[in-house]
Structure 1
Amino acid sequence: MSDFSNALSVSSSGLKAQAQRLRHVAENIANADTPGYRRKTVSFEAARDSDAGGVIPGPVRLDRGALQRVYDPSHPLADETGHYDASNVNLMIEMADAREAQRSYEANLKMFDQARQMSSGLMDLLRR
């Protein structure tokens, strides 16, 4: 495989991984007010089947942090003390994760575009 193909492969794997990470962040934000919801996280692993490198998303994990206890006796899920378990999603952390995933996605996209432009420029030089 050529170096240009390797660069395209690595950057496209990063694009896919960051897109999945951003989907999980969006899901966490959407379910921030869902009682009993646990924050989802995804880690990245090195791609084993590629010579060029790259990453693949690892398994999705649930954050085992403590659920927030909320006092609301009128809530349908409230126990006899008037408390229920809310989600463990922290919107500040999710916004920071979303920003980091977006920036990483943009960096991979620039790398992909740069490799494509270099490949196109090389083909133009070879045609002359």
Structure 2
Amino acid sequence: MSLLRVLDVSATGMSAQSLRLNTTASNLANANSVSSNREETYKARHPVFAAELNRAKGGLASSVGVKVQGIVESAAPLNQEYAPNHPKSDENGFIYHSNVNVMEEMANMISASRSYQTNVQIADAAKQMLSRTLQMGKS
């Protein structure tokens, strides 16, 4: 695999982890949201990634990267609370909290941050190898 393609793979990885960090931040920002309707209540969102394999004209694999297939809402149940005096309670006195698990989101944030850092280090190593290769050609 060419060192230039390594930079492409690293870039797709950084882009994917950046999206993961953004969705995690959105989940954490809405963790304490309350609604009077199940449909309107914020549901945790998570990106779905897949390996992407590009094929060259000769049929050989040319590069591998990360493709974002989409963002899905969590299927975890909402937290229902009986609070008849709450201004957002429904006609039965219930309010609905989001299904965001703060501990899980913090773990996702740490994991995404470290994955992003790893991709930066890979890109830096590839850049250094390209630079050394060019210096060898000057000698």
Above 0.5 in TM-score? Answer: yes
Task: Please provide the CA RMSD for this pair.
Answer: 1.4
In structure 1, runs of 5+ residues without a counterpart are none
Instruction: Give the equivalent residue in structure 1 for 2:136.
Output: 125
Instruction: Give the equivalent residue in structure 2 for 1:20.
Output: 19
| Deviations 1:57-96 (CA, angstroms, capped at 9, x unpaired) | 1210001211001232222221233211110001000000
| Deviations 1:87-128 (CA, angstroms, capped at 9, x unpaired) | 000100000000010010011110000000110111111111
Does 2:87 align with 1:76? Answer: yes
Which is further off, 20-29 or 66-75?
66-75
In the TM superposition, structure 1's runs of 4+ consecutive aligned residues that sit over 6 Å from their partners are none
Q: Please, which of 21, 39, 44 is the counterpart of residue 39 of structure 1?
A: 44
In structure 2, runs of 5+ residues without a counterpart are 35-40, 56-61
- Structure in which a larger fraction of residues adopt helix: 1
**Percent of pairs with identical residues:** 35
Which is further off, 59-68 or 71-80?
71-80
What is the Cα deviation at residue 47 of structure 1? Answer: 2.0
Aligned length: 127
Distance 1:70 1:48 in 2: 47
Distance 1:48 1:62 in 2: 26
SS in 1 for 2:64: coil
So what's the TM-score if we normalise by structure 2? 0.85
So what's the TM-score if we normalise by structure 1? 0.92
Which is further off, 67-76 or 36-45?
67-76
Distance 1:74 1:120 in 2: 67
- Structure in which a larger fraction of residues adopt strand: 2
SS in 2 for 1:61: strand
1:1-128 equivalences under 5 Å are 3-35=2-34, 36-49=41-54, 51-128=62-139
